[in-house]
Amino acid sequence: MLKRKQLIGANFSFQHHPFRWTAKKLSAMGFDRMEFWGIAPHLDLFHDNRARLAEVKAVLDDNGLTVRCFTPEQVLYPINIASGDGAYREASVERFKRAADMCAELGANYLFLTPGRGFECESRETGWAHSVQSINRIAGHARSLGVSCLLEPLQRVESNIVTNADELESFWRALDGDDIDIVLDLVAMATAGDSVGGYFERFGKRVAHVHVVDGTPAGHLAWGDGNLPLDDHIAALSAHGFAGTLTFEPFGNGSYALDPVSAWQRCLDAIAPHLDEADEA
């Protein structure tokens, strides 16, 4: 079985609540680590002044939380590290280098990256080259600060560069350095026709983080609001000796943001039979 301590919190669906309120709720749910979604008004790449960062650190400390990874919002413009527009691409890289600085200041282990998106009217190879170059620059800066990176593929509606496990492996092997680990998102996996076993065959222990989400197969839904075999997927993670972290990412239904605690509690109840809490004493 997976260990309860592998399950960490996140602020997904909490974007319409202040971060202090969010942190208190995560702590009350028993979390002491979180994935920090970099979204306003919590902490984003456009309002990361010193006072805001100091406030976030104080809230984390007050609630006994540490940051496992910082995940700036990056699927929509103006952030796009693979943009065919050089000015937007360069600005995005600079923003993410600042995100690496923020990771270091927060004490986060990882900066979370996705491949971005090239122009649909240009060749995929062009977007691929831009993305590789950008991630190498960002990861190099993060590395100089003692921060590693996570890499997640996206669905085809989100990216035209890396959308399945085969492409992810080729892309990952084209990158510099050996400190970029892999994210397994169960919805992205399902929409691509991939499997938990296939990820572990390709990446083994480099699978470091998992987004546990339901879907039909798309849609980042709370457990039970879709039709994915999540019980089977969690059992497969355990069978492959997964030793990383996992969290929920419910935001595919607008109602979750109205009552994020209820959405999270449903997910916690559903995953509980798969978790060994013996080490929590």
pLDDT in tens, 2-22: 999 999 999 999 999 999 999
Q: What tokens were used for 158?
A: 């989100």
Determine the Cα–Cα distance for residues 173 and 124; give it in Å rounded to an integer.
Answer: 17
pLDDT of residue 281: 41
Domain assignments of the chain as residue spans, ordered by start: 2-274
Farthest CA pair distance, the chain? 56
pLDDT digit string (tens) for 137-183? 999 999 999 999 999 999 999 999 999 999 999 999 999 989 999 99
Cα separation of the two ends of the chain: 17
Strands (DSSP E) found in the chain: 2-3, 9-10, 33-38, 66-72, 110-113, 148-151, 180-185, 207-212, 245-248, 275-276
- CA 182/CA 278 separation, integer angstroms: 28
Structure tokens at 11: 């602020």
2-274 CATH fold: TIM Barrel (3.20.20)
The pLDDT assigned to 279 comes to 55
Give pLDDT, residue 87: 98
